[in-house]
Every structure is written in structure tokens, then in C-alpha cells.
Amino acid sequence: MEVSLKGKVALVTGASRGIGLAIAKTFAESGASVMMVSRKIDESAMEGIDGEVAIRPANVGDPTAAADVVRETIEKFGRLDILVNNAATNPYYGPTMGVDESRYDKTFQINLKAPLQWTQAAYEASFKKSPGVIINIASVGGLRTDGGGLGIYNLTKAALIHFTRQLASEIGPNRVIGIAPGLVKTDFAGFLVENFGDKIAATVPLKRLGEPEDIANLATFLASDAASWITGETYVIDGGAGLGTSGAS
């Protein structure tokens, strides 16, 4: 089996660091041309990437940005085959009942509404005529309840998981797939990693936290023709943390 993205063009949001950057790098190494999108991104994000890549600063939550960036991607690379909705935010940490309207709206805007808007833009410009692959980066938090302050964030990820299933049923033969990572060592999850990382890793059957490359490798397989009969599912990748056991000692 060959996992290759040769000749494909991908657009990755939230690509300046962490999981998004790892996905962009791995896609490029697998042969894809990649448009890297993030609110704050510069040429340094492309350092060490072996392949054809471009960067486009954009506010993912801006409803006008999606159509513009999709159009520019097609103009530059000639086509669009893969969209990765990776950008996310978590401006509120605390009990669900304590969230204010502003932070509630921002979380849903970036984590749920933006994936819809970017998918609509890609569909209208390309995928309606030439079916592509849409990968939504969700979270294991979207599958579990949480008493530690991530309730609002998890609500958006639960909705994104259902959005993935719903869209897959509506726009085939486009493939729509979700990835639900556990705790990954990124700046985005820095507080949890720094304060609870070792404790959490000890409870995971594989005895470690995730690396951005773990998620990128799965995304590359799912985006490739090797996964051509997969759609509508969200794949948990958490080192076995959700199994309810710490594994053998």
C-alpha cells in the first residue's frame, strides 16, 4: 500500500504551529502542494518543509476570508483536492454555566461556524465538480463529558463531529472525515501539558502524550487514495486513553 498525496493540492487552516503545521509538513513531504493559512503566519513557518508550499495570513473566523483564500489557492496551484479544518480557539476555561456571551460566540465562530464556511467555499469553488477530501480536526473532548473547565470547547467539538457525519451523508462522493486527538504536546494545549502532562501520560496505555506528527500521519493516510472508501467517521487517536485502563505496568 502506498500512501501518497502526489499531485494533490491541500489547504490547511491553523497551519502556523502545532497540529496544523505538522499536517502541512507531512502533506508536503507526501507530495502535495500546500496552502498554509493562519491568522499569524510568516515565512519562518515554511522552514524545514520539503515540498511546494505557500502561506496566506487570514483570520479563519472572517466569513469573507474563506472564499478569497480558496480562490487564491486554486489560482496558484491550479486545483484544490483537500481541505483541513484545523484552526481552533479556546478563550474560556471554567464551568459551562459561567461563560459569557462574547467568549461563547467566539468559540463557536472559530471551532464550528468557520469549518462550515471554509467547506462551503471549497465546495462551491472546486468540490462540487471535482470531489475532494475534507478533514475536520475535532477532539476526544467532543465524545466525553468534562468537569475540568473545557465544557464550552467540548461542545463545539461534539458539534463538529456530528457536522462531519451530516456533511458526509449530503455531499458524497466528497469524503468528509474527522480526527479526534487526545492530549497532544502543542502550544495550544500548553497549560494542560505543563501542569498535568506527566500524570496523564502515566494513565495512557501507550505511556506518552501525543505528538503533532501522530495526528499528521493519520491525516495523511485519510487524505490519500489509500483511504478512498472512508467517509463520515471520526477517528480517535489518543494513545488508548479512552479505553478506561492504564494498561500493563
| Residue that wins the pLDDT comparison between 209 and 14 | 14
Is residue 189's pLDDT more than 70? Answer: no
- 183 vs 248 pLDDT, higher one: 183
Q: Which of 162, 149, 57, 61 is nearest to 108 (CA)?
A: 61
- Of 198 and 149, more confident: 149
User: Distance between CA 138 and CA 89 in Å, rounded?
Assistant: 12
Q: Chain-centre distance of CA 4, in angstroms?
A: 19
Each residue's pLDDT tens digit, 21-39: 999 999 999 999 999 999 9
Task: List active site positions.
Answer: 153
- Between CA 242 and CA 159 the distance in angstroms is 19
pLDDT digits (tens, 9 = 90+) for 36-63: 999 987 777 788 888 899 999 999 999 8
Q: What is the pTM of this model?
A: 0.94
Interval 223-249: pLDDT, tens? 999 999 999 999 999 999 888 644 443
Instruction: Please name which of 202, 187, 211 lies closest in space to residue 241, comparing C-alpha atoms.
Output: 202
Q: Name the pLDDT band for 207 (thresholds 50, 70, 90).
A: confident
Q: Which residue has the cell 472572517?
A: 62
Structure confidence at residue 249 (pLDDT): 37
Q: What's the mean pLDDT in 64-76?
A: 98
Q: Which CATH superfamily is domain 9-183+212-236 in?
A: NAD(P)-binding Rossmann-like Domain (3.40.50.720)
Per the document, the length of the chain is 249
Mean local confidence (pLDDT), 129-140: 98
Domain ranges of the chain: 9-183+212-236
- Is residue 154 within 8 Å of 90, Cβ to Cβ? no
173 burial type by CB count under 10 A (0-12 exposed, 13-18 middle, 19+ buried): exposed
Average pLDDT, the chain: 93
